[in-house]
Amino acid sequence: MVEVCAVNMFMTACANREITNLSEISMQLPFLLHLNCALSIAVKSYLDELSSHEDPTSADTKAGVKETATTRYFPQSQNFVADLQSAFEMWDAVAEGVTTAGTLIPTKDQDTWKAAVQWLSSRR
């Protein structure tokens, strides 16, 4: 989304093209952070691959999918399993925030989150 907006701004002359600190600005964009859209794609791929197996919650299935993801889908990842763990830790933090929010979040939404947390817990 950020890339689309940036292209639009530059192509419609809504952005100053004579910026001298573009490198500095680009380093502040969220694409260099560990928890980014690439990690989201990796997690989704892992969960999709798990779901294609007969028993997505077995230890053997999870280990096999992690190996496949590491070697076939994301060979450039320095440590796919650790990256996956980081994503799950972020999920846990957001889920805890939803729980802690109490009545600020409708009960129906909290129930959806609880179901998602339970579903994910067996697929880690």
**pLDDT tens-digit readout, 51-68:** 999 999 999 999 999 999
Same domain? 88 vs 113: yes
Nearby residues of 30 by Cβ (< 8 Å), 6 or more positions away: 2, 36
pTM of the model: 0.70
Q: How far is CA 68 from the centre of its chain?
A: 18
Same domain? 41 vs 28: no
Which spans in the chain are helix H?
Answer: 2-11, 22-27, 37-51, 59-68, 80-100, 107-121
Quick: pLDDT tens for 82-119. Answer: 999 999 998 999 999 999 999 999 999 999 999 999 99
Mean pLDDT estimate for the chain: 87
Same domain? 64 vs 13: no
Same domain? 42 vs 26: no
Same domain? 60 vs 80: yes
Same domain? 28 vs 76: no
Same domain? 105 vs 45: yes
Task: Quote the CA–CA distance of 81 and 70 in Å, as a whole number.
Answer: 8
Q: 């799950």: which residue's tokens?
A: 88
Domain that holds residue 47: 34-121
State both tokens at 6: 């940036």
Same domain? 14 vs 42: no
Same domain? 40 vs 61: yes
Q: How many domains does the chain have?
A: 2
